[in-house]
Amino acid sequence: AQSVTQPDIHITVSEGASLELRCNYSYGATPYLFWYVQSPGQGLQLLLKYFSGDTLVQGIKGFEAEFKRSQSSFNLRKPSVHWSDAAEYFCAVGGETGTASKLTFGTGTRLQVTL
């Protein structure tokens, strides 16, 4: 069965600092990988996704993620964090039944940004 681990429950960074959120997955074949962001009171918004090809993927809001098969990781990065990035971030894996919409989510990482 597929699974996702986000080892950091809560991260605090200063505005302007770089950010890396960790995600490790377990999946039998080549996974479909996603990062979502959830702001308070809002639904989940897709930041970026990986299916195949270039292992460094670019997303919205200046985020990027790198797929590393050897480490079963898909870490999310941003070079310079803005205060508006404070939110909860979820890594997800999909594709088990042929549709990427049946997703398995990690427990999330809550990002706090200090000014």
Partner 1 sequence: NAGVMQNPRHLVRRRGQEARLRCSPMKGHSHVYWYRQLPEEGLKFMVYLQKENIIDESGMPKERFSAEFPKEGPSILRIQQVVRGDSAAYFCASSPTASATNEKLFFGSGTQLSVL
Q: What is the length of the chain?
A: 115
Residue bearing tokens 């200090």: 114
> For the chain, how long is the longest CA-to-CA vector?
44
- Rounded Cα distance, 81 and 92, in Å: 22
Q: Does 67 bind partner 1 (CB under 8 A)?
A: no
- Rounded Cα distance, 28 and 96, in Å: 9
Joined tokens for residue 92: 């997800």
Residue (64 or 105) nearer to partner 1, CB: 105
User: Exposed, middle or buried, 54 (CB in 10 Å: 0-12/13-18/19+)?
Assistant: exposed
DSSP state of 70: G
Out of 25, 32, 74, 89, name the contact with partner 1 by CB under 8 A: 32
Stretch that binds partner 1, among 18-26, 59-67, 73-81, 101-109 (CB under 8 A): 101-109
Q: Does 110 bind partner 1 (CB under 8 A)?
A: no
Q: C-beta of 43: minimal distance to partner 1 in Å?
A: 4
Restricted to residues 6-25, the positions that interact with partner 1 (CB under 8 A) are: 6
Residue (35 or 81) nearer to partner 1, CB: 35
* Residues in contact with partner 1 by the rule CB under 8 A: 4, 6, 32, 34, 36, 41-46, 49, 51, 90, 92, 94-95, 97-108
